[in-house]
């Protein structure tokens, strides 16, 4: 194998909890909620699937279904889909809906999995190309820079920058081309069999990890080092 493609959310990084997300947005806007109301609002936001990178909606509203299906094809669609879900939950200030969306793009809202740095560093030392392939509506590069991992990434293929989202093989093809790698000598690592499994159409080997909290997944990325030899 000459290169490895990694998904972002749920693979290399995990977003903060919905409660932490709401607390941060309240703090950023100088607001507060009584603890019972805060916890109830966080639970409602969780059920709504309002946090990008978090849980999917328990029940997707019919009027947002079409938007949800293509949400990662542009920055505008992504914001519209997620703020649409967030607005299903009553909050004390209308400004909080945009504040929540802005918060999820803050590098502080994301934590790398415990073994991410070791795996990325080792791949660099072995001369293995690395690209991040993500369905996303915003530039995640600052997250990698803030956590000191950008030095190990050679290329990014982000859905909103190309107007195409996984599992469409074209997004994986963009990443392989950027690395100068033959897809048949590439491993795609991700947490979604539906989305990340699309790389198999190009001939890539696919390796899946579970989308778990960082404290519950200390070493799931390490087997990738065995796959590339």
Residues 102, 40 share a domain: yes
Please, are residues 55 and 120 in contact by the beta-carbon 8 Å criterion? no
**What is the CB neighbour count within 10 angstroms for residue 99?**
20
One domain, residues 9 and 26: no
Q: Number of folded domains in the chain?
A: 2
Q: Give the per-residue pLDDT at 55.
A: 94
Largest CA distance in the chain: 55
For residue 99, the surrounding DSSP H or E stretch is helix 95-104
Would you call 219 exposed, middle or buried from its count of C-beta atoms within 10 A (0-12, 13-18, 19+)? exposed
Which segments in the chain show pLDDT lower than 70? none
| Residue-level pLDDT at 10 | 98
pLDDT tens-place string over residues 54-87: 999 999 999 999 999 999 999 999 999 999 999 9
- Looking at the fold, whether 124 and 37 belong to one and the same domain comes out as no
Q: What pLDDT does 229 receive?
A: 77
Residue 179 dihedral angles phi and psi, to the nearest 5°: -90, -10
CB 196 within 8 A of CB 177: no
| Contacts of 193 by beta carbon, 8 Å cutoff, 6+ apart | 208
Same domain, 33 and 94: yes
d(CA 222, CA 106): 27
Taking the C-alpha atoms of residue 61 and residue 46, their distance in angstroms, rounded to an integer, is 14
**Cβ–Cβ < 8 Å for 104, 209:** no
Domain encompassing residue 150: 3-14+110-228
pTM: 0.96
- Shared domain for 118 and 153, answered yes or no, is yes
CB 51 within 8 A of CB 104: yes
């Amino acid at each position: 194998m000459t290169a490895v493609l990694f998904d972002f959310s749920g693979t290399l990084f995990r977003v903060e909890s919905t409660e932490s997300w709401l607390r941060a947005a309240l703090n950023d806007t100088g607001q507060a909620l009584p603890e019972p109301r805060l916890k109830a609002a966080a639970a409602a936001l969780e059920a709504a699937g309002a946090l990008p990178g978090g849980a999917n909606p328990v029940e997707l509203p019919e009027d947002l279904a079409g938007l949800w299906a293509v949400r990662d094809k542009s920055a505008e669609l992504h914001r519209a889909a997620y703020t649409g879900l967030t607005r299903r939950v009553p909050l004390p200030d209308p400004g909080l809906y945009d504040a929540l969306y802005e918060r999820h793009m803050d590098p502080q809202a994301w934590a790398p999995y415990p073994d991410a740095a070791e795996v990325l560093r080792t791949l660099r030392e072995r001369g293995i190309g690395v690209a991040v392939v993500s369905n996303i509506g915003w530039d995640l590069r600052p997250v990698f820079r803030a956590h000191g991992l950008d030095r190990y990434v050679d290329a990014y293929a982000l859905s909103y920058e190309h107007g195409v989202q996984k599992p469409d093989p074209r997004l994986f093809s963009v990443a392989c081309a950027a690395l100068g790698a033959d897809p048949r000598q590439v491993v795609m690592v991700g947490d979604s069999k539906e989305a990340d499994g699309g790389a198999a159409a190009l001939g890539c080997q696919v390796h899946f990890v579970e989308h778990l909290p960082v404290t519950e997944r200390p070493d799931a990325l390490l087997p990738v080092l065995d796959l590339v030899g």
